[in-house]
Amino acid sequence: MPGRCSPRSRSTTAASEARMEVGFIGLGKMGRPMSERLLAAGFALHVHNRARGAVDDLVAKGAKAANSPREIAERAEIVLSALPTPQSVDEVYGELAAAARKGQVYADCSTVSLQLSRRCADLLRKKGAAFLDAPVSGGPGGAQAGTLTVMVGGDQAAFEHALPVFRAFGKNIRLCGPTGAGQAVKLVNQLLVGVHTAAIAEAAVFGARLGADPQIVLEVLGTSFGGSTMMTRNMPRFISRDFKPATPVKLLLKDLGLIHDEAKGANVPLLLGSVAEQRFLEAVGRGHGDEDMAVLVRLWEEAAGTTVGGH
């Protein structure tokens, strides 16, 4: 029947997508597992990273190394990036734009300002290429499992072109609006992550000081209005004292700084956000910047003279 897709034609389409040349720049805590998912999905993957070790590991799994962002732009049809700072995004996209060409799609999965995303889009548009801001949420574990949330801003056609690539590492993939809309949604998410992390730390120490068993608190609140995704994430870390950095304090502090600047420009008071940002600043000042954000609980523990969970 016309318009129907046979199993064979669907398979051919999938194979064609898998052979797509994809570039990935930035192989850190998120970029590396995202790249591994792309390899597992069968994409022809080209990778670049300042530190060579992660590149070599992915080459051993089938990726091809590129010596610069420009090389990635010259080889790939779709280029993704996951970079740690706005400065690195600015620098890398300056290089990419120099070699960009018509028909390419660039998707930045970093968390940056709306203004920077729009600037990247403008640079690439002049070369006939499309840009998507595509920040992700779900942490390294979500990247490994292929269950990330991908918040996309940009053109519908570019989004549909990149969708098979996003599906390699994402489960919840949403076009949120025009350029910058993905970053807007991500910053709302990060504001809540920061505020909830601080609130959960405070509540956990309050409960511990009153003699409540933290494991029971976790189990009961898991089915109560006071529960949240961040509680489910952080409370077990409080209890086990596991502060290995899945999401380091200094990384979330960077995001809270972006949120502060965006809110100031939009004339939106962020009272709770400002308190959370101050607590993250204190944690960095006490030497916890490279530990997981759950380590924030120690600020309240020290003030209250008690500990949540183990010692």
Count how many residues are written for the chain: 311
Catalytic residues: 186
Helix (H/G/I), strand (E/B), else coil: 288: coil
- Rounded to whole angstroms, how far apart are CA atoms 283 and 153? 33
Cβ–Cβ < 8 Å for 110, 151: no
| Torsion angles phi and psi, residue 176, rounded to 5 | -90, -15
Residue among 230, 224, 245, 141 nearest 194 (CA): 230
Q: Provide the residue type at 274 as one letter.
A: S
Helix (H/G/I), strand (E/B), else coil: 43: coil
Burial of 273 (0-12, 13-18, 19+ CB in 10 A): buried
- Rounded to whole angstroms, how far apart are CA atoms 244 and 49? 23
Residue among 75, 168, 93, 99 nearest 132 (CA): 93
For residue 162, the tally of other CB atoms under 10 A from its CB is 26
- Rounded to whole angstroms, how far apart are CA atoms 304 and 311? 15
